[in-house]
Amino acid sequence: EAGVAQSPRYKIIEKRQSVAFWCNPISGHATLYWYQQILGQGPKLLIQFQNNGVVDDSQLPKDRFSAERLKGVDSTLKIQPAKLEDSAVYLCASSLAHWGAGDTEAFFGQGTRLTVV
């Protein structure tokens, strides 16, 4: 079974520039998550999709971050304009997440390491 694919693996941009990350979840997984992991911290949820609808984006800085999941499969996360504090690893995860116990296992991609200079 193929895992969660993310690209690019690394990105360096200057502050105020824009950047986009791409994620392809595991086939058949309805739920897709974007997490931000700042160095030395645990991942923090930015946005959660159920198919192509947003379930939770309460911690997404909407003035600069946007995300979409077209056709309920691939997803892109965009930052515009970037700030220095956006330097982090952006992790995409997916899960079956059916409504019931035991289906919340999330599988993570390798992440995109963003450095804003």
Partner 1 sequence: QKEVEQDPGPLSVPEGAIVSLNCTYSNSAFQYFMWYRQYSRKGPELLMYTYSSGNKEDGRFTAQVDKSSKYISLFIRDSQPSDSATYLCAMSRPGGGTSYGKLTFGQGTILTVHP
Give me the residues that bind partner 1 (CB under 8 A), please.
Answer: 4, 31, 33, 40-45, 48, 55-56, 58, 91, 93, 95, 97, 99, 101-102, 104-111, 113
CB nearer to partner 1: pick between 7 and 80: 7
Torsion of CA 73, 111, 18, 39, to 10 degrees: 140
Question: What Cα–Cα distance (Å) separates residue 64 from each residue in 16, 26, 32, 80, 100?
Answer: 10, 27, 20, 5, 34
Smallest distance, partner 1 to C-beta of residue 87, A = 15
CB nearer to partner 1: pick between 43 and 79: 43
Closest alpha carbon to 81 in 10, 21, 15: 15
Smallest distance, partner 1 to C-beta of residue 41, A = 6
Q: How far apart are CA 68 and CA 34, in angstroms?
A: 11
CB nearer to partner 1: pick between 92 and 116: 92
Smallest distance, partner 1 to C-beta of residue 25, A = 13
Smallest distance, partner 1 to C-beta of residue 81, A = 27
Q: How far apart are CA 37 and CA 41, in angstroms?
A: 6
